[in-house]
Amino acid sequence: MSTSGGKVACSYPVRRYIDQLAYLGVGERHTIDGFDLTGGPYPHQARLLRRAGAPDLADAVDALDLEDFERDQPFGPPTHWITDAETFDLGAQTLHRTPGHTRGHTVFELPESGLLFTGDHLLPRITPSLGFEHTPEDSPLTSYLGSLTQFADRTGLRMLPAHGDASYPADVRARELLDHHDRRLGEIRQLVADGHRDAASIAAAMTWTRHERHLTELGTVHATTAILEVRAHLEHLVRAGSLVRDGDRPESYQVAE
C-alpha cells in the first residue's frame, strides 16, 4: 500500500489477496447483514417503496436479479450491534460508531497521524445514501446527523474515504453535509406544506445529483435511493415534531400544527 498525491493506492497482489480473504465491499453491498440475500437484492426497499407511494418502482426492484458475485455468499447477520456505551482497546486506533449510511458503519481514527478512515460516512463529492441496506433502521437520517456532529468540530483530521479524493478536512466535509441535509429538510417540509403528501411525489418534485436530474431520468436503483432518502428526511421531521404522519398506504405526511 502506498500514497501518492494525497491518494492511497493498493498494489494488485495485495488487493487480490484481500479480495480472496474477504470479498467485502464489492458492488456496494452494505454491512454484513446485507449479505443475507435469500429475499433478493432489495426486498426491504421494495416494501418501503410501496409504502412511499411508488408501487411501479417497487415492482421493478422486485424484478432485479442478484449479481454473480452476490450469489452463495457465506456471510450472515452480525452477532452483535455496537452501541455508544461500548469501548474497544485497539491500541493506536480509535473506533467511532457512525450509524446512518448503514446501521453498522464505523470510522477508524489514527490520532497520532491525524487520519480518519471514514468509509462511506464522509465522502468528498457525494452524499452517502441513507437506509439502502438489507435491514435499515427506522430513521437513518436522525442517526446520520448525530454521527456527523462527532466530527464537525474536530479540526486537524484528514479524511480517507472509501470513494474519492483523500485531501479533504473531515470537519469541513461534516459541516457541508450537515448544511446540505438542513437545506433538504427545509425543502421537503415546504413541499409537504405545498400539498405533496408522500415520499414518491416529493422526490418527483425535486432534482437529484449534481447534474440536477429529475426522478424520471434516474435508473431503478438511483430512483430508489432518491425516494428512500426523501422518506428518511420525512421520518426525521416527524421525530422533530415538524411533520405528522397521517396515513400508511401510502405513507402520508402533513405539517404539524
Spell out the CATH class of 14-255: alpha beta
Best CA proximity match to 57, nearest among 253, 213, 248, 227: 227
The pTM assigned to this predicted structure is 0.81
pLDDT for the residue numbered 76: 65
241-254 per-position pLDDT tens digit: 999 998 777 899 99
Cα(115)–Cα(158) distance, rounded to whole angstroms?
Answer: 5
- Angstrom CA distances, 190 to 77, 204, 210, 215, 254, stand at 39, 14, 21, 18, 10
Q: Which residues pair with 251 in a beta bridge?
A: 248
Share the mean pLDDT of the chain. 82
- Cis peptide bond N-terminal to 77, omega within 30: no
**Count of CB atoms situated within 10 Å of the CB of 108:** 15
3-26 per-position pLDDT tens digit: 333 333 343 443 443 343 333 333
224-241 per-position pLDDT tens digit: 999 999 999 999 999 999
Residue 96 DSSP SS3: strand
Name which residue leads in pLDDT, 165 or 147.
Answer: 147
* Domain residue ranges of the chain, discontinuous segments joined by +: 14-255
Cα(205)–Cα(218) distance, rounded to whole angstroms?
Answer: 13
Cα(222)–Cα(225) distance, rounded to whole angstroms?
Answer: 5
